[in-house]
């Protein structure tokens, strides 16, 4: 904790030594003090102490007595009341500033929710109307925000690979046919205003020539989009690549990555995400939208000093921003909050839960008010099934869970092996070439199959849908009974027609293609999410299983497994439900999510009645995947990149002690320390120059090694630099002291330098016989950066977070040198 003592009046000894004007350089804070260097871990206890000190200033400045803030009255409420009442006496402007500071957390949540939620609203409304001019289009772009720009641009550019709308080139295929008066319901995807490239260039729509021309232009557009994406990322914002969730998890645990949540990253990731998804690669935009939302949250934090100057408070906002990102990506506000709690956040107090819920609420309300998905509902894949599920169906649901767990294990191991190969071989030096090759292979193999040619979101939506009387998909090509006189919503099970069998073969090929190509796509140097590709794999497998069960029930309804619940002529099996369960199973197998996954899925589809099948598949998927390894895809990438992430779910059961892990170890040089009143400025500067430690223990003397406190390297460097600039008489031979009173020095000595206020007088300490299981638990729960090891008050060594992670890796027979950062 930071000391809070004031500067005492000069003693007669100080006056005799010429130190009557001594300064403590944190009495008047100078820039960057208390901050952290890039690729370093924050000290959570220190940030908490700084926030408490900020509240204490309100207590000291308040004129009213505050003794009434007793039991039952929260500290925050007392501080807010005192701040408002004291500031209201000064001026209206001070009152407004105090109110803004008191409610800044909720203001930031409101801004995040609005910026995240309005994206899919105003822009969509504008696009659904006929534009009168290019100026109207530009006005519409500026009237919307990030998520809507991404959604609509992806739809338009995805369709641009196949054709163009002649009446308005900025329309997607669906929007183009919306405005046509010649479109019929049966041929709602065909209208004279929309032309494929071969028809536009040659006037022919059929034949080998037209097919090959469309094929060639599809590949050309895909290569162009991916090349632009990887070039923009490589030149302007290298941090804009990938999903972003592994880095967000690491940042929320207290790690500093300068620029990862910056303005350039936000802009480039938004633009390149559109290009990457539109190129047809096997990736999604939902994961990167979490990164985009956190960039927005970081941007709003800079508006309020309470968050911009405190890394711990900033991370509370980022946790809520992650929830808002999932909320607008899927239209799942509650699932977004649970996702942030279960999967992303490291420190998630109750206050952050409330604010996350508020941000998700604002985003969801904005989405719902303007109908972003065109179905008068909030959800992305709305489904409406007319048949309940039966207990006997739990068997195929659990089998889909097993498939999801196996797929998750296969994907994680194969993808990590490929990414490790990329990092350790020449392949990593040519990211642009890798993206071009993966895009070319994807486009060449995807175009012939209609289920891989379309966007992945459209594919999942079709696989989730139930077959009604008006469906024209191949998946709904059943042989109908001409004498059937049932309502439209209660169509009985029917024998599959040739279209269904053809679709099954195409889906089987699409499944193999998606499984293989996603392994090589996730991790390339463009924005790439994993939610939608994982759901697509599970949805394809689930739909195939669902059709198989449906046909078995129809042709063998007298079997014992169908006899009790599936009568002839009844609507027994819903293949779309199997697709939904399979999607949840595969996503759970890859990410290891459980509670948040189930909530996201039933919010995503509106299928609350089917929560039990989703739960069964998610739990089975996690059990099977955990049998092969506890780490999900995001934790695996954190380990691959060497980030100092201490997972709260990891168990440490080895019987080692703090003395086995602390430094210095045997045969190491002695621990670098500072003395409380006998070290000169030159000694300190030499120590900083010759070492790369993040801080130094302060002891009474080198002989006694009695611990006084701990000082951060960055604070020490800044303090000496500012002292040389602002305080006369500070030279290399000046004595640096950390005590309250100046040491006894001869009158001929230069003026000493007092640095007590940058000294942490209460560093966390453990004894040398403390079990490492306890030390690991302390680092997890308190968010420590380092702790000191003592015996009877005498300093023995130091344990950093990096030491803990390396020791845990060594105990699990992993390479301890893989932990690269502090």
* 3-state SS track over 301-370: HCCCHHHHCCHHHHHHHHHHHHHHHHHHHHCCHHHHHHHHHHHHCCCCCHHHHHHHHHHHHHHHHHHHHC
- The reported pLDDT for the residue numbered 33 is 63
Query: Is 242 in a helix, a strand, or coil?
Result: strand
* C-alpha separations of 616 from 388, 465, 488, 588 in Å: 16, 21, 31, 11
SS3 671: coil
Enter the tokens of residue 89. 């006496």
CB–CB of 311/283 below 8 Å? no
**Greatest distance between any 2 Cα atoms in the chain:** 114
**Predicted local confidence at residue 708, as pLDDT:** 93
Beta-carbon contacts of 453 under 8 Å, excluding residues fewer than 6 positions away, are 218, 280, 446, 447
Are the C-beta atoms of residues 586 and 592 closer than 8 Å to each other? Answer: no
Residue 304: count of CB within 10 angstroms of its CB: 18
**pLDDT attached to residue 535:** 94
Output the pLDDT for position 374: 54
| DSSP string for 400-435 | HHHHHHHHHHHHHHHHHHHHHHHHHSGGGG-HHHHH
Confidence (pLDDT) at 189: 64
Beta bridge partners of 41: 255
Q: What gap in Å lies between CA 395 and CA 592, rounded to an integer?
A: 21
- Residue 759 phi/psi, 5-degree rounding, is -90, 125
Of the candidates 34, 4, 16, the residue with the CA atom closest to the CA atom of residue 718: 34
Which of the residues in the chain have pLDDT under 70?
1-34, 55-91, 94, 97, 116-149, 179-189, 367-380, 468-472, 481-493, 567-570, 820-822
pLDDT of residue 151: 72
CB 674 within 8 A of CB 698: yes
Question: What does the alpha-carbon distance between residue 161 and residue 225 come to, in Å, rounded to a whole number?
Answer: 10
Give the number of other Cβ atoms within 10 Å of residue 189's Cβ.
11
What per-residue confidence (pLDDT) applies to 122?
38
- C-alpha 71 chain-centroid distance: 39
What's phi and psi for 668, nearest 5 deg? Answer: -85, 155
pLDDT of residue 89: 54
């Amino acid at each position: 904790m930071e000391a809070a003592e004031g500067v005492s009046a000069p003693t007669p000894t100080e006056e005799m030594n010429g130190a009557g004007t001594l300064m403590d350089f944190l009495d008047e804070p100078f820039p960057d003090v208390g901050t952290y260097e890039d690729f370093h871990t924050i000290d959570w206890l220190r940030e908490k102490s700084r926030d408490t000190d900020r509240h204490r200033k309100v207590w000291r400045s308040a004129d009213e007595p505050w003794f009434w803030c007793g039991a039952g009255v929260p500290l925050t409420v007392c501080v807010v009341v005192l701040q408002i009442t004291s500031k209201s006496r000064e001026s209206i402007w001070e009152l407004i500033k105090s109110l803004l500071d008191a409610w800044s957390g909720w203001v930031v949540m409101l801004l995040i929710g609005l910026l995240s939620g309005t994206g899919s609203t105003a822009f969509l409304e504008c696009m659904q109307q006929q534009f009168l001019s290019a100026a109207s289009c530009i006005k519409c772009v500026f009237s919307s925000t990030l998520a809507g720009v991404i959604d609509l641009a992806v739809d338009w550019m995805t369709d641009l690979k196949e054709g163009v709308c002649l009446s308005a080139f900025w329309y997607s295929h669906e929007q183009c046919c919306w405005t046509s008066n010649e479109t019929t319901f049966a041929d709602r995807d065909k209208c004279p205003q929309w032309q494929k490239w071969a028809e536009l260039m040659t006037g022919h729509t059929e034949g080998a020539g037209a097919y090959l021309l469309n094929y060639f232009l599809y590949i050309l557009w895909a290569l162009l989009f991916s090349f632009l994406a990887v070039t923009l990322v490589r030149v302007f914002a290298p941090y804009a690549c990938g999903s972003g969730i592994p880095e967000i998890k690491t940042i929320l645990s207290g790690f500093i990555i300068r620029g990862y949540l910056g303005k350039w990253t936000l802009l480039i990731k938004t633009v390149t995400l559109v290009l990457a998804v539109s190129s047809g690669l096997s990736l999604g935009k939902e994961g990167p939208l979490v990164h985009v939302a956190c960039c927005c949250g970081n941007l709003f934090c800079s508006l309020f000093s309470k968050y911009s100057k405190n890394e711990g408070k900033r991370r509370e906002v980022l946790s809520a921003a992650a929830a808002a990102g999932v909320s607008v990506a899927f239209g799942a506000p509650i699932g977004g909050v649970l996702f942030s709690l279960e999967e992303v956040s490291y420190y998630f107090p109750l206050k952050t839960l409330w604010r996350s819920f508020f941000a998700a609420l604002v985003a969801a309300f904005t989405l719902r008010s303007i109908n972003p998905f065109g179905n008068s509902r909030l959800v992305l894949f709305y489904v409406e099934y007319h048949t309940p599920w039966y207990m006997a169906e739990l068997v195929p649901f659990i089998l889909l869970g097993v498939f999801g767990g196996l797929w998750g294990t296969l994907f994680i191991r194969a993808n990590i092996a490929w990414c490790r190969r990329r990092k350790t071989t020449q392949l990593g030096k040519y990211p642009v070439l890798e993206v071009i090759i993966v895009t070319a292979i994807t486009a060449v193999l995807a175009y012939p199959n209609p289920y891989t040619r379309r966007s992945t979101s459209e594919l999942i939506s079709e696989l989730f849908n139930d077959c009604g009387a008006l469906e024209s998909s191949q998946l709904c090509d059943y042989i109908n009974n001409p004498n059937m006189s049932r309502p439209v919503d209660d169509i009985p099970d029917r024998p599959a027609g040739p279209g269904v069998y053809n679709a099954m073969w195409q889906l089987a090929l699409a499944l193999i293609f998606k499984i293989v190509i996603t392994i090589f796509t996730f991790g390339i140097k463009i924005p790439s999410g994993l939610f939608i590709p994982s759901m697509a794999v599970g949805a394809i497998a689930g739909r195939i299983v669902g059709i198989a069960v449906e046909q078995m029930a129809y042709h063998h309804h007298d079997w014992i497994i169908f006899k009790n619940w599936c009568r002839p002529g009844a609507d027994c099996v819903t293949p779309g439900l199997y697709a939904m369960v399979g999607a949840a199973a595969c996503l759970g197998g890859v990410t290891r999510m459980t509670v948040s996954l189930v909530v996201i899925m039933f919010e995503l589809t509106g299928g609350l009645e089917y929560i039990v099948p989703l739960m069964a598949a998610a739990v089975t998927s996690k059990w099977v995947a955990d049998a092969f390894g506890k780490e999900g895809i995001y934790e695996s990438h954190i380990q691959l990149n060497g980030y100092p992430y201490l997972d709260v779910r990891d168990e440490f059961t080895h019987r080692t002690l703090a003395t086995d892990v602390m430094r210095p170890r045997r045969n190491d040089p002695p621990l670098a320390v500072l003395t409380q009143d006998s070290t000169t400025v030159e000694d300190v500067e030499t120590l900083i120059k010759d070492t790369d430690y993040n801080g130094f223990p302060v002891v009474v003397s080198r002989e006694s090694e009695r611990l006084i406190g701990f000082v951060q390297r960055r604070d020490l460097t800044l303090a000496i630099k500012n002292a040389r600039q602002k305080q006369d008489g500070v030279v290399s031979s000046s004595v640096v002291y950390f005590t309250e009173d100046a040491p006894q020095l001869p009158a001929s000595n230069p003026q000493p330098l007092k640095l007590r206020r940058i000294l942490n007088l209460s560093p966390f300490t453990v004894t040398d016989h403390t079990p490492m299981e306890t030390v690991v638990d302390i680092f997890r729960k308190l968010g420590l950066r380092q702790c000191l090891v003592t015996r009877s008050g005498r300093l023995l060594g130091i344990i950093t977070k990096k030491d803990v992670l390396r020791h845990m890796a060594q105990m699990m027979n992993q390479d301890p040198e893989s932990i690269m950062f502090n």
